[in-house]
A and B are shown apart, each in its own frame.
Chain A
Amino acid sequence: DGGITQSPKYLFRKEGQNVTLSCEQNLNHDAMYWYRQDPGQGLRLIYYSQIVNDFQKGDIAEGYSVSREKKESFPLTVTSAQKNPTAFYLCASSIGYEQFFGPGTRLTVL
């Protein structure tokens, strides 16, 4: 899991602004995922990508967008349409059965 990086660690945004969270991996994993975690809650899937140039909506995709132009990168944009974006965002990648997580980005809307 040390090969998955997320930046920034903390992010503050004003209401009405779009913001992009970075996720990079050097593990040569095909699949990448974005999860949202609220305090005391579980992991909810936002988007996932099984292969470059393809991605699917997860359970809570509304107000979010992604791209997968490179195998190593899977950025997540939190748009102004997301009404309650304050949360901890986790990126993950997988190979075989196992899935590994990045360190997370804590987004706070002011």
Chain B
Amino acid sequence: GENVEQHPSTLSVQEGDSAVIKCTYSDSASNYFPWYKQELGKRPQLIIDIRSNVGEKKDQRIAVTLNKTAKHFSLHITETQPEDSAVYFCAAKRESGLFFGNEKLTFGTGTRLTIIP
């Protein structure tokens, strides 16, 4: 099955600096890679995702890059703010035709991001 590794497990950055979180996956057939943000005691929230047919996607201060050859993808947060402090999870899954949208996600172990004011 799929295996997703995420690094680093903790990350502290100065407010205004950039943060980068990296994930690798094992199943070359995986074609969907979301990122979730989880604040303390809350549910994970989808913040950005990328499909295997593109190499990069950006949404304001957040961007995700995908390297299919190397089987890794990264989350980039620029101009970090205190409200970016949270745990971030990457995930991967392979969408097939029979149960489109119903396959299971495999999650990384999470990165605790702390923004230092």
Contacts and interface: CB of A to CB of B under 8 A. Distances in A.
Contacts of B100: 96
Contacts of A43: 44, 89, 107
B34 A99 contact: yes
Contact of B44 (A40, A45, A90, A94): A90
A76 interface: no
Contacts of A98: 34, 46, 49
Contacts of B28: none
Interface stretch (A17-25, A60-68, A77-85, A100-108): A100-108
A42 B109 contact: yes
A50 B108 contact: no
B48 to A, nearest CB: 11
A100 B101 contact: no
Given A97-B32, A98-B46, A58 B104 contact: yes
B102 interface: yes
Given A42-B89, A42-B107, A95 B101 contact: yes
| A42, A90, A96, A97 — most chain B CB neighbours (10 Å) | A97
A42 to B, nearest CB: 4
A74 interface: no
Nearest to B108: A42
A31 B99 contact: yes
A90 B105 CA distance: 14
B101 A51 contact: no
B109 A1 contact: no
B56 interface: no
Interface string B15-46: 00000000000000000101010000011111
Interface of B: 32, 34, 36, 42-46, 49, 51, 89, 95, 99-105, 107-110, 112
Interface of A: 1, 30-31, 33, 40-43, 45, 48, 50-51, 58, 90, 94-104
Given A31-B102, A33-B104, A97-B51, 5 more contacts: A42-B108, A45-B105, A96-B101, A97-B101, A101-B43
